[in-house]
Amino acid sequence: MNILVTYYSQTGNTRKVAEAIFSGIHHNQKTLLPIDEVDNLGNFDFIFCGFPVLHHGVPPAMNRFIKSIPLGKIIAIFATHASLRGGEKAITAFFEALSLAKGQTILGTFGCRGQVEFHLLDEWMEKPQERTWAIEAQSASGHPDTADLEDAQMFADLMLHSAEHSYPHGKTS
């Protein structure tokens, strides 16, 4: 099985998780690429797609990318977000990502918190309508941390085991 780990990342949090996922794939045929360097999906069987949750949703570049994945491919979604795990401000983006895949198999999703740059937090704190959200986002400081990255590695391993059972052309290793 030929595996691609691709990601969109503005400040590096999602890239770190992508690297952890990549290192958790114990398989010879694997590629790690930022989304804007992917030019041919045809050769890949399994695609890990990662993004930061922005404005409760999937960033446009990743939205377009997921929609462009050919039918029949296996996908796993991962995202970083500043809100608490399972919180409303993150979970809507996972639902959105799941709804984008039509005809591909989404095998699983993984999310962990990712810190926001201090200058943005300061700006949000100043705006009364953003303050509650800013306090939540502030508590993501230091993420993704070692435990998040270990979880991401485990997610990769789990997805590959799962694919071994669901992928029609045989084992991944």
Ligand X SMILES: Cc1cc2nc3c(=O)[nH]c(=O)nc-3n(C[C@H](O)[C@H](O)[C@H](O)COP(=O)(O)O)c2cc1C
Of 50 and 73, which has the nearer Cβ to ligand X?
A: 50
Phi, psi angle pair for 33, to nearest 5°: -145, 140
Cα distance between residue 93 and residue 3, in whole Å: 24
Query: What gap in Å lies between CA 133 and CA 156, rounded to an integer?
Result: 30
Q: What residues are paired with 47 via a beta bridge?
A: 4, 75
List the one residue from 12, 23, 29, 138 that touches ligand X (CB under 6 A). Answer: 12
Considering only residues 32, 77, 116, 163, which one is a binding residue for ligand X as defined by CB under 6 A? 116
Integer Cα distance of 161 and 166 in angstroms = 9
Does position 55 interact with ligand X (CB under 6 A)? The reply is yes
Residues paired with residue 159 on neighbouring β-strands, in sequence order: none
User: Mask of contacts with ligand X, 35-54, x by CB under 6 A?
Assistant: -----------------xxx
What's the rounded Cα separation, in Å, for the pair 79 and 109? 8
* Least gap, CB of 103 to ligand X (angstroms): 28
Count of residues near ligand X by CB under 6 A: 21
Q: Per rule CB under 6 A, is residue 91 in the interface with ligand X?
A: no
| Binding status of residue 119 toward ligand X by CB under 6 A | no
**Binding interface with ligand X (CB under 6 A):** 9-14, 52-56, 80-83, 89-90, 114-116, 120
